[in-house]
A and B are shown apart, each in its own frame.
Chain A
Amino acid sequence: MKHPMPVNIVVAHALEAKALVKMLELERHHASTDFVEYSNSNKLRLLVSGIGKEAIAAGVTYLSEQQASDNGEIRAWLNIGIAGHRDASLGSAWLGNKITDHSSGTSAYPPQLIEGVEVGSVVTVDEPENSYPLNAAYEMEASAFYAEATKYSTAELVQVFKVISDNLENPVSEIDIRRVPGSIAAQSPQLLILIERMSAIAREYNSNQRLPGYFFEICSQIHLTVNQKLQLRRLCQRYKALGLEKELGRVAGRKASDARELIQQLTERIDRISEA
């Protein structure tokens, strides 16, 4: 994994994290007293939130706050965890294409951009489900995860992946939790496709949105009002889109110390160059 992987994985339980830590070569770090966290040098983060909707929402909020200074770059968010289904075989797994919150009755539909991964419905319940009335994976975090993570990223990059750990023949009360890491490890081919593809989309998005370094340079050198900052941001984007990033540096060389003057100079120059 050479490329940066701007992906946040959130799991509810330490046993769900165990296989992922090994699979993704993550190391534990001790940034938080509330959550167990892992990461690697490729920007991949894994957080153990605790069980239930409140816990996972808090975990997502915590991670997003940690990453708030990433120059506006977005990250993909993936919830991985175990779930129950009435008749799906143990160890089968899918990406949620419909997430229904049982208590509110509302559904969310994560946009599906990734091929090669099984898909299916997910129902989030407040208490463990024993009868599994719908053809869906029953679990306890997905709806809250999706609602919270889409506040910090685009919906296409927020996904949930559920591995079946219990069914009518193997009820939730009899789960052997020692099998959880193995069930998740068995899904490594699908998970690696998913994580790689999500991170590729996030990387491309961030690359398209990347601002020239000049923008940050000027922001650190000259006082700009909020409106001026927006104007400068757009000007920098326009120079970049026209392949004129180097021109920005030349204007900087003129040492325009006044923000209004600088914006005016940049505007006049690019309008002159690009007008048909």
Chain B
Amino acid sequence: MFSTIYIEEEVLESERVRKLLDRFPQIPQVVCDRYGEVFNRKSQNFRLQKIAPALILAKKYGNKVLAAPSGYGYNDSKSYYFSHMLNCVYDCRYCFLQGMYSSANYVLFINYEDFEKAIVEKIEENNGGGVYYSGYDCDSLALEPVSNFCSHFLPVFRRYPNAELEIRTKSTQVRCLLDTEVVPNCVIAMSFTTSEAAVQWEHKVPSIGKRLEALHKLQLAGWKVAIRFEPLILGAEGLAPYEALFAQIFSKLDGDRLHSVSSGLFRMPVDFHKRIVKLYPDEELFARPTQTTDGMIALKSTEENTHLMAIEELLLNYISSEKYYRCA
């Protein structure tokens, strides 16, 4: 599961770490001073580390709850994100994390109580409200059996019914949710691309069918679920893959009961893109022409808006426009 487990000396004796290490006695354990000694060092290679990622158990210092980028969310409430983990168990070729870090190891910040305190402070600053995103720098559910993220953080949000938690994921690890009483202000947001894009670029990700099955179970159990069509990458096949994807999704899920549906085009900071191109000069996606606006790079398409509107038109056959938003 992990090639090595690195542990910051400071957290070595914490109960959460001890329990976790006891589960993996066969994996080599290495003690370090700070996770920065192991993670994101120069001379490291994200692509190579994906061959056998390690787990790093660390304590997060500094800001734990940050303002979400503008246009990230689905309403006008103040939005924040928090990352109890850095990096993702999946290997999506379009993912910005490849350009953000030189290391593919997973950093799990185990001081959940400090995150909880920071979240509660932020909720109270916002009179009990605000939207809180988890899954910006990681997939929140994919490592759930190891992290027990849900069992710690769901009760926090249960106490603050006007604050909303969005768990962004591509994982089918929903047992923890199904075994828990529904938290009405928690949204499970699953990301999808077309099946062609998934096969080409989403390595190690559960199939669309399996993800839908997981969402279906959650919806039946009463959880709020949302769909995120990100990134939209238009190919030579035109709209047909999207027609097929929408038909597949909405034959399984009740569109009227979805919390929200969003779409977002492929884009990332220019510097991240440059680093990813160095890692994957052989990748077809990055060989396509690009355009840069305000430091963000996107695929160049003279008909981008026409295509996007056509996809939205297809989508709005299944859901009401009130549920839909474009992610900036």
Query: Is A150 located at the chain interface by the 8 A CB criterion?
Result: yes
Is there contact, CB below 8 Å, between A275 and B284? no
Given contacts A115-B52, A156-B49, 13 further A-B contacts (CB under 8 A): A109-B37, A109-B38, A111-B105, A113-B52, A153-B43, A154-B44, A154-B45, A155-B45, A234-B277, A241-B283, A241-B287, A275-B302, A276-B235
Which one, B45, B54, B286, B288, contacts A112 given CB within 8 A? B54
B4 close to A (CB within 8 Å): yes
Of chain B, the residue at the smallest CB distance from A74 is: B45
7 contacts between A and B (CB under 8 A): A108-B37, A111-B54, A112-B54, A113-B52, A115-B52, A155-B43, A274-B287
Once bound together, how far apart are the Cα atoms of A274 and B300, in whole Å?
10
Distance from B94 Cβ to chain A, minimum over Cβ atoms (Å): 14
Task: Give per-residue flags for B291-318: 1 if the beta carbon is below 8 A from chain A beta carbons, else 0.
Answer: 0000000011110100100000000000
Within the complex, what minimum Cβ distance (angstroms) separates A62 from chain B?
A: 20
Instruction: Convert B225-241 into 0s and 1s, putting 1 for each residue whose CB lies closer than 8 angstroms to a CB of A.
Output: 00000000111100000
Interface residue? A271 (CB, 8 A) = yes
A111 surroundings in chain B (CB, below 8 A): 3, 44, 48-49, 54, 103, 105
Interface positions of B from 28 to 73, Cβ below 8 Å from A: 28, 30-33, 37-38, 41, 43-45, 47-49, 51-52, 54
Interface size on A, residues (CB 8 A): 35
Q: Are B286 and A241 in contact (CB under 8 A)?
A: yes
Give Cα A113–Cα B105 distance, bound, in whole angstroms.
11
Assembled-state Cα–Cα distance A271/B291 (Å):
11
Contact A113 B3 (CB under 8 A): yes
Check A259 for interface membership: any CB of B closer than 8 A. no
Q: By the criterion CB–CB under 8 Å, are B32 and A107 in contact?
A: yes
- From DSSP, what is the main secondary structure of chain B's interface residues? loop
Q: Are B288 and A209 in contact (CB under 8 A)?
A: no
What is the 8 Å Cβ interface bit string for chain A, positions 96-136, against chain B (1 contact, 0 not)?
01100000000111011111000101000000000000000
Residues of A within 8 A of B (CB): 97-98, 107-109, 111-115, 119, 121, 150-151, 153-157, 201, 205, 208-209, 234, 237-242, 270-271, 274-276
- Residues on A with beta carbons closer than 8 Å to the beta carbon of B47: 208
User: Dominant SS at the A interface?
Assistant: mixed
Chain A residue nearest to B54 in the complex (CB)? A112
Chain A, residue nearest B38 (CB): A109
Which of B's residues lie within 8 Å of A, judged by CB? Answer: 3-4, 6, 28, 30-33, 37-38, 41, 43-45, 47-49, 51-52, 54, 103, 105, 233-236, 277, 280-284, 286-289, 299-302, 304, 307
Complex Cα spacing A108 to B43, Å: 12
Contact B301 A275 (CB under 8 A): yes
With A154-B43, A271-B289, A275-B300 as known contacts, state yes or no: A112 contacts B282, CB within 8 Å: no
Say whether B282 contacts A208, CB under 8 Å: yes
Give which listed residue, B28, B41, B235, contacts A97 with CB less than 8 A: B28
Q: In the complex, what distance in Å separates the CA atom of A51 from the CA atom of B1?
A: 38
* The 10 A-B residue pairs with the shortest CB-CB distance in the complex, in nearest-first order: A241-B287, A238-B287, A237-B281, A156-B48, A271-B289, A154-B45, A276-B234, A150-B43, A155-B43, A113-B52
B287: chain A residues at CB < 8 Å are 237-239, 241-242, 270, 274
Which residues on the B side are within 8 Å of A156 (C-beta)?
44-45, 48-49, 51
Q: Beyond A115-B52, A156-B48, is A275–B4 a contact (Cβ under 8 Å)?
A: no
Measured CB to CB, the closest approach of chain B to A32, in angstroms, equals 26
A112 & B43 in contact (Cβ 8 Å cutoff)? no
- Are the CB atoms of B28 and A119 closer together than 8 Å? yes
Q: Which of B6, B41, B48, B282 contacts A113 (CB 8 A)?
A: B48
